[in-house]
Amino acid sequence: MLYNEPSPLEVKILTRRFGLPNSQSIDTYLATDGYKAFEKAIGMSQDDIINEVKASGLRGRGGAGFPTGMKWSFVPRNSPKPKYIMVNADESEPGTCKDRLLMEYDPHQLIEGILIAGLAVGSQQGYIYIRGEYRYLIEVMDRAIDEAYARGYLGDNILGRGVRFHLATHSGAGAYECGEESALLESFEGKRGNPRIRPPFPAVAGAYQCPTVLNNVETYCAIPPIILQGGAYFAGLGTPKNGGTRLFCLSGHINKPGVYELPMGFNLMRMINEVGGGMKGGKKLKAVIPGGSSCPVLKADECDLAMDFDTLAAAKSMLGSGGVVVMDEDTCMVKALLRIMRFYAHESCGWCIPCREGTTWLRKLLTRFHEGMGQASDIVLIGDLGKNMLGRTFCPLGDAAALPTISIVEKFRDEFEAHLNGEPCPYENRSRLVAA
């Protein structure tokens, strides 16, 4: 069962098997070009594979948008240590629900992408770190891995071609921070998910201090189409330096929320109006979080832009993880920020003080403010706390909390001021967002 109707505007590359009968099974996969890219890659050199990925313009789908081919080229070739392929399936950025579908409907595409990454860097072992809440997907992936072993696509001598690769799932146990790459690796090793200082980066010293390729689920899923149809083809689907398609997760006050695969650079207003069916109840658009709760928000009049990494960066926001959260005119932005801050304060691992204290004090200040007990000076204080956290925390979770704060205080100052009359939230009676 698909969770939402597809849109005719979609360009289905990574999601093309979604909705096929038994799309999880290896037989369906093999009948639809499955594992052909892997077979092709066996005949390619490591450099050829990496160059093809570079040519595709693929950038990491986990949030930061780092060029994938370049990341792979950082793995040392002559290291005597084993090398690992690590899959980030921790998917916990609020607003993001796409890796779930990629695993649920097409687990073999992910396995094939991992296998090709293994060939590219000379790794023989991979792990998929799946958030603990996605238990059913651990089962889906385990079954697919078993099938791949049974059919000779995993093991000591894959397809009799002398390739060795082993793959296993690994369950998390509830922690947003474990999606951050270095915290993920700590957690994988059976420790608290505290971040590591970098450099060294995972490409040099990752799992067990060995060279490790660490990418998001969707990033790996893009690899088979890139190898099969060529990097240039994939690059051509998107905008310059922003190759391919991406799964956008539309949520909030729109008529047709859902996950849709669209070309990189697709216009955000068209995404809301044409793909997402427009604003619910004919309400006016107020703001959009363009790529998960960590991103600076866009005001309605800033939303006529191309959704790619560079355009969003130029607009002082981020494309992030693909979670597009749409908010209508009745939304209380103070309340929205408060909820986001409750999340970051809860998820801050406590390792560094600016993040632990910054998120906690922001949560307290925003709670008080939203309840009508704020003072005018608090508005400045909230913004300053955000600015002082930005760039000063051990890992980017602090930035993730600071960026929405700074942008909401700057862009929606009037809404903060409207909370200064000693009464509870002025949106309370108009909106679905009532006081906490």
Partner 1 sequence: MTFSPELEARFEKFLTKYPPERKRSAMIPMLIYAQDEVGSMTDELIAEVAKRVGVTPLQVNEVLTYYSMLHRKPMGKYHVQVCTNISCLLVGGEELWRNACKKLGIGHKEVTADGQVSLEEVECMGACSWAPAVQVNYDFYHDVTPEQLDKLIDGLAAGKTPAEIHGVERVNP
Q: Are 419 and 368 in contact (CB under 8 A)?
A: no
Binding site for ligand FMN (CB under 6 A): 60-64, 66, 88, 90-93, 176-177, 179-181, 214-216, 219, 395-397, 400
Find how far residue 330's CA is from the centre of its chain.
Answer: 28
Owner of token pair 């200082």:
197
Residue 246 in the binding site for partner 1 (CB under 8 A): no
C-beta of residue 63 within 8 angstroms of C-beta of residue 312: no
Q: Which is nearer to ligand FMN, 62 or 290 (CB)?
A: 62
Q: Please state the separation of Cα 156 from the chain's center in Å.
A: 32
Q: Which is nearer to partner 1, 167 or 222 (CB)?
A: 167
Q: Which does 192 bind (CB under 5 to 8 A by kind): ligand FMN, partner 1, none?
A: partner 1
DSSP 295: S
The window from 67-75, 157-165, 230-238, 246-254 that contacts partner 1 (CB under 8 A) reads 246-254
Cβ proximity to ligand FMN: between 219 and 251 the closer is 219
Selection from partner 1, ligand FMN, none that 250 binds (CB < 5 to 8 A by kind) is partner 1
- Report the residue number, 234 or 412, with the smaller CB distance to partner 1: 412
Of the pair 73, 317, the CB lying nearest partner 1 is at 317
Alpha-helix residue ranges (DSSP H) falling in 58-193: 68-73, 99-105, 107-121, 135-150, 181-188
Distance CA 47, CA 361 (A): 49
Residues 134 and 127: their CA atoms lie apart, in Å, by: 15
Q: Which does 363 bind (CB under 5 to 8 A by kind): partner 1, ligand FMN, none?
A: none
Nearer to partner 1, 56 or 331 (CB): 331
Residue 83 contacts which entry, ligand FMN, partner 1, none (Cβ below 5-8 A, type-dependent):
none
Residue 198 binding partner per list ligand FMN, partner 1, none, with a CB distance cut-off of 5 to 8 Å that depends on partner kind: none
Q: Please report which helix (H) or strand (E) contains residue 158, including its range.
A: strand 155-158
Region near partner 1 per CB under 8 A, out of 113-121, 226-234, 331-339, 358-366: 331-339
- Residue 312, CA distances (Å) to 46, 202, 265, 291, 305 in order: 33, 27, 10, 10, 8
Six token digits for residue 243:
């190759």
**In the chain, what is the straight-line distance between the N-terminal and C-terminal CA atoms, in Å?**
36
Name the site residues for partner 1 (rule: CB under 8 A): 1, 3-4, 82, 91-97, 99-100, 104, 127, 131-136, 140, 168, 170-176, 187-193, 208, 249-253, 257-259, 289, 293, 323, 325, 327, 331, 335-336, 339-340, 343, 346-347, 349, 432-434, 436
